[in-house]
Chain A
Amino acid sequence: MTMQALVQVLASGLLTGLIYGLVAVGLSLIFGLMDVVNFAHGEFLMLAMYATFGLVFVSGLDPIVLMPLVAALMFVLGGTIYFGVVRFAMRAKANQGMVQIFATFGLAILLQGVAQYLFTPDYRSLQGSWLGGKTLDLGGVYLPWPQVFGALVSLAAFGGLFLLMTRTDFGRALEATREDQGAVALVGIDRNRIFALGWGLGAALVGLAGAVLTVFYYIHPGVGGAFALIAYVTVALGGFGSVFGALAAGLIVGLVEAATAVVLPPSMKSVGVYALYLLVVLVRPQGLFGRL
């Protein structure tokens, strides 16, 4: 293997990894905030992709331009789902954990069904983004522009998230709610509001990922499944609830996947990722940056 080929594998692994991190971070954020695993996370991604597709269809604008709007719509959706579904699931008097699992799992099935009904199971792809099909040539290492752009969006999103969580009152309130959701009322914080904003933020982040993915990935009602599986691995690897663990783990997953594709046939590129996941679960069940 030449040096150039090695750099190529590394670079594509890093790009994919950054996108995986962005796909997964919302899941980790919501889990860390309130110990609820959102089994509809993949469906959020799917909805964001359809939203992007639909908005492009209606407005004729480039998906990249529509990205903030998609994130905003997903923010509203996330908050609504908290108030409309999750809040009630959390009130269960018995078996709360199970109720939460079935509530979000049921939501996933519902959203997929609705998507099948409204959009048909056909695979769709977006043509005509000015990033589409372009490659970046870095001295013989070729990187597709859509992925490069997605990676940059991911970095920007993580940067923004870091500032939000460390520099703002909302971030501090989020941290405090993570620590002790029963105590925030003592300083006048409405935990339901923070939970809803957390769901909104988590959905907006996966919405960004969805908008980016439409440029180079097929859209269909089951698209969330493949990404959700990787998102769960990423979150478990990084540590459930650790937002920046999701970034690090996303990069690791992307690199391992790219490396596996070199050694094994491309159809088995996920084998390395799941093998790594198994290893982490056995050796370090709390994940790399998690606290259990």
Chain B
Amino acid sequence: MLLEVDGLSTAYQGLLAIQGVSLGVAEGEIVVVAGANGAGKSTLLKSIAGLERPCDGAVRFDGARLDGLPGHRITARGVAYVPENKRLFPRLSVADNLRLGSYLHRSKADREAPLERVFALFPRLKERLPQRAGTLSGGEQQMLAIGRALMTRPRLLMLDEPSQGIMPKLVDEIFSAVTVIRDAGVTVLLVEQRLAESLAIADRAYVLQTGRVILSGPAAQVRDDPEVRRAYLGI
């Protein structure tokens, strides 16, 4: 497994947001973590990315421990995280945001190498380069956030609700971009509420409920689970 999460628990002021969560992501997979609002999906990603400190459990990436490392070192190890609220630098230009993405590789001659791929993925970013990131539409901001994350040259890309707050037409574009990113060799861990769309592109899925994994398996199997169909797919 490229990423192994083992019995991870994270608490906010004594309240456990996730408890004993274990999951694995193999190299080249798209894995989706589904669940309702407040199920602990975002906390899980933040705890892996080093933005929240877990109180118990372990995170291993490529065999080495990640938990306890500060966020910037986790990014440097090859784990990129696109949070739900994107956390772009809104007063900086699109170009500067992308350039900051390659900060870790600033001394390399081919520093901007992933840029071509980012533009192929999201051509409209190229048209917006001089614009301030804060002036982009919701969908464009999502594209920029993913683009910035790709500039860090991740082996694992973690996306938190990439479909949130963007128009339906762009949602498809984002989801198909995720498969292209995976096909280019980047492993993807995706957190989503839009279960149908994400199960369609995922290899495997985990379902979180009130901080615990209640179901996991191949995407097709999770999709056919009667409880999932009733609770999340509305069928």
Contact = CB atoms under 8 A, between A and B. Distances in A.
A186 B89 contact: no
A169 B108 CA distance: 13
A143 interface: no
Given A173-B100, A173-B103, A188 B89 contact: no
A184 B72 contact: yes
A188 B151 CA distance: 11
Contacts, number: 71
B129 to A, nearest CB: 14
A188 B72 contact: yes
A188 B107 CA distance: 14
Contacts of B106: 169
Contacts of B71: 185-186
B75 A188 contact: yes
Given A179-B91, A183-B87, A185-B70, A172 B96 contact: yes
B92 to A, nearest CB: 6
B76 A188 contact: yes
B80 interface: yes
B92 A187 contact: no
Given A172-B96, A184-B72, A189 B103 contact: yes
Contacts of A184: 72, 100
B81 interface: yes
Contact of B104 (A172, A187, A191): A187
A146 to B, nearest CB: 39
Contacts of B51: 182, 185
Interface string A163-182: 00000010011011001101
Contact of B90 (A172, A179, A189, A190): A179
Interface in B50-95: 50-51, 70-76, 80-83, 87-92
Nearest to B148: A187
Contacts of B76: 188
Contacts of A173: 100, 103
A179 B93 CA distance: 12
Nearest to A176: B89
B223 interface: no
Interface string A181-211: 0111111111100000000000000000000
B101 interface: yes
Contacts of B75: 185-188
Nearest to A184: B72
Main secondary structure of the interface of A (DSSP, over half): helix
Listed residue (B71, B80, B152) with the most chain A CB atoms within 10 angstroms of its CB? B71
Contacts of A172: 92, 96, 99-100, 103
A190 B103 contact: no
A185 B100 contact: no
Contacts of A169: 99, 103, 106
B181 interface: no
B36 to A, nearest CB: 26
Nearest to B50: A185
A182 B87 contact: yes
B149 interface: yes
A179 B89 contact: yes
A172 B99 CA distance: 9
Listed residue (B87, B90, B149) with the most chain A CB atoms within 10 angstroms of its CB? B87
B152 A188 contact: yes
A182 B52 CA distance: 11
Listed residue (A169, A185, A186) with the most chain B CB atoms within 10 angstroms of its CB? A186
A244 to B, nearest CB: 15
B162 to A, nearest CB: 15
Interface of B: 49-51, 70-76, 80-83, 87-92, 96, 99-101, 103-104, 106, 148-149, 151-152
15 contacts: A173-B103, A175-B91, A179-B89, A180-B87, A183-B87, A183-B89, A184-B72, A184-B100, A185-B70, A185-B71, A186-B148, A187-B101, A187-B148, A190-B70, A190-B73
**Ranked 5 nearest A-B pairs via Cβ:** A185-B71, A183-B87, A188-B104, A188-B75, A185-B72
